[in-house]
Amino acid sequence: MIAEPSAGTYFDPRMETLDRERLVEHQLERLRAMLREVLASNRFYQRKLQPAGLTDARELSDWEAFRRLPLTTKAELVADQAAEPPFGTNLTYPLERYVKLHQTSGTSGGVPLRWLDTEESWDWWARLWGHVYRGAGVGPGDRIFFAFSFGPFIGFWAAWEGARKVGALTLPGGGQQSVQRLATIRELGATVLLCTPTYALRLAEVAAEQGIDTAASTIRTTIHAGEPGASIPATRARIEAAWGARCFDHCGMTEIGATGFTCQEQSGVHLIESEFIFEVLDPSTLEPVPTGEQGELVITNLGRLGSPLIRYRSGDLVRFTPERCDCGRTFGRLPGGILGRVDDMLIVRGVNIFPSAIEDVVRQFTEVAEYRIELSRVREMAEVTVQIEPTSADLAGALAERVAAALRTRIGLRMNVAAVPCGSLPRFEAKAKRVVRLN
Ligand SMILES: [Zn+2]
């Protein structure tokens, strides 16, 4: 059986090409090892798993037994932390063992979740980012600029730690305005830009105002976190054109870990199956969907023993393929990345659409600087208005008509498109909030 990469060293890229049969054995072995620890002392999972008949990890004989374990939801975690503040009961070890605190943004569920990591689980996070960087071809000699204010959001902190695993140099960009960041990138010869997709575009916009040509900069690679934009073809193309760079996606969640990355083939998001167990379930029946069909991604992490999640409902809709990628990795993939959130799917006049589909159309128009989707209910019918901010005021009317026509053709729906004054829509540095519900 494969040895664990030891803490403090580089991660083990051999896991990425393990044949799938051995990968599955490896998962089951890691799962049992985790359950031994968790069942002994984690009150949250003792309460969930013992009534389900699991009191000893040795009883988990096969995958059928695993699939009978109860699912975990975000609502349960929020309720647990509210009942036993400030950290809740999903803790396998005494509090003194934990060295890192992060929290979720709280944008979708309202209440932020707090999450603790031990030294071992923080090192695990760094190894996950080793996979992300390797996928993007980042290694020794690279200088990674973090255009990010280092708050309690975990994504960039983990990315920062992970750079050590591939031997790259980290350049902190916190506490700087966009103009200063552009100067730092130039002065320090940064080769990789790490930020949200939204901010990559914003930074390029500020650069253009300053007469700086970002496409000619030293940045050759961009890696994104916080939002799904880097898997939306039109957004990715726009970032690549603005920076003269190749753009890579990554996905993950504060409470679960960095779960996936794109490789040089850019043929979807690879899931890090050596560190997680992934299932795709029908969100209404909670039964597995046939391979390749759309369903909700359900995740079990295998290396965060201090604050684990078992069969966690991510709320993300995906399609999964186990087919080997041209890059040689055997890790399965999500073609198109995360398609949308279960909660974000809009039903407009009987048509199901995700905000990402609207983004893919709107971002193809280089004359649109920023956009926002407003949702309202008119006589019990959902209505969508897409606000677009043109790069120049004289484009407004004609541009709105062209965007509306493209949305009608591509999505098959008539949507109101309204041009708003230049500079009037909010710009975002961390997670963008572009879908607004009016009533
Ligand atoms: Zn690949």
Domain that holds residue 130: 1-341
| 367 shares a domain with 401 | yes
DSSP line for 144-170: EEE-S---S-HHHHHHHHHHHHHTPEE
| 323 shares a domain with 269 | yes
Task: Determine the Cα–Cα distance for residues 122 and 35; give it in Å rounded to an integer.
Answer: 19
Domain final residue, candidates 287, 316, 341: 341
Single pTM value for the model: 0.85
Domain final residue, candidates 302, 317, 341: 341
Mean predicted confidence (pLDDT) in 180-205: 95
Q: What is the pLDDT of residue 124?
A: 96
Q: What is the pLDDT of residue 4?
A: 44
What spacing in Å lies between the alpha carbon of 160 and ligand 1's midpoint? Answer: 23
What spacing in Å lies between the alpha carbon of 349 and ligand 1's midpoint? Answer: 38
| 320 shares a domain with 367 | no
What spacing in Å lies between the alpha carbon of 333 and ligand 1's midpoint? Answer: 8
Cα–Cα distances in angstroms (integers) from residue 268 to residues 149, 259, 315, in the given order? 28, 13, 19
- Across the chain, how many H-helices and E-strands are there? 11, 21
CATH number of 213's domain: 3.40.50.12780
226 or 87, which is more confident: 87
| 359 shares a domain with 249 | no
Structural domain count, the chain: 2
What spacing in Å lies between the alpha carbon of 316 and ligand 1's midpoint? Answer: 21
What spacing in Å lies between the alpha carbon of 264 and ligand 1's midpoint? Answer: 7
Helix axes 178-188, 197-209, angle to 10 degrees: 90
What spacing in Å lies between the alpha carbon of 239 and ligand 1's midpoint? Answer: 21
| 125 shares a domain with 85 | yes
| Mean pLDDT taken over the chain | 91
| 368 shares a domain with 411 | yes
For residue 383, the one-letter residue type is E
What spacing in Å lies between the alpha carbon of 416 and ligand 1's midpoint? Answer: 39
What spacing in Å lies between the alpha carbon of 158 and ligand 1's midpoint? Answer: 22
What spacing in Å lies between the alpha carbon of 302 and ligand 1's midpoint? Answer: 22
CATH number of 379's domain: 3.30.300.30
| 206 shares a domain with 110 | yes
Domain final residue, candidates 341, 368, 395: 341
| 283 shares a domain with 397 | no
Which region among 93-107, 173-187, 315-329 has the lowest average model confidence (pLDDT)? Answer: 93-107
What spacing in Å lies between the alpha carbon of 128 and ligand 1's midpoint? Answer: 16
Q: What is the pLDDT of residue 383?
A: 84
| 83 shares a domain with 34 | yes
| 354 shares a domain with 304 | no
The yes-or-no verdict on residue 67 having pLDDT over 80 is yes
What spacing in Å lies between the alpha carbon of 283 and ligand 1's midpoint? Answer: 27
Q: List, for residues 347-390, the tens digit of each pLDDT value.
A: 787 777 888 888 889 999 999 999 999 888 887 777 889 999 99
| 98 shares a domain with 51 | yes
| 208 shares a domain with 99 | yes
